Amino acid sequence: MSLLGIYNFLLTTIAVVLLVLWLVGFIGFNVVGGFIHILLVVAVVLFLIRIIKGENPIK
């Protein structure tokens, strides 16, 4: 696997983990809602970076 492939896999993994954490926080924990929403913003930014680079955002 090339370095670019590892980088893409890492970005995808981080984005998915952040989205799952946001969903868990949104549904279960209203106390730390601000932190969870920051994680959501990071996940969206990573997603947009992949789109801007011209890569398939969902693999």
pLDDT of the residue at 30: 64
Average the pLDDT over 18-28 and give the result: 77
With cut-offs at 50, 70 and 90, classify the pLDDT of residue 29.
low
CB 8 within 8 A of CB 46: no
CB 21 within 8 A of CB 39: yes
Q: What is the C-alpha to C-alpha distance for residues 36 and 25, in angstroms, rounded to an integer?
A: 6
Selection from 6, 20, 21, 8 nearest residue 49 by Cα? 8
pLDDT of the residue at 1: 62
For the entire predicted model, the pTM comes to: 0.48
Average the pLDDT over 33-56 and give the result: 79
Q: Where are the domains of the chain?
A: 3-52
With cut-offs at 50, 70 and 90, classify the pLDDT of residue 14.
confident
Selection from 5, 55, 35 nearest residue 46 by Cα? 55
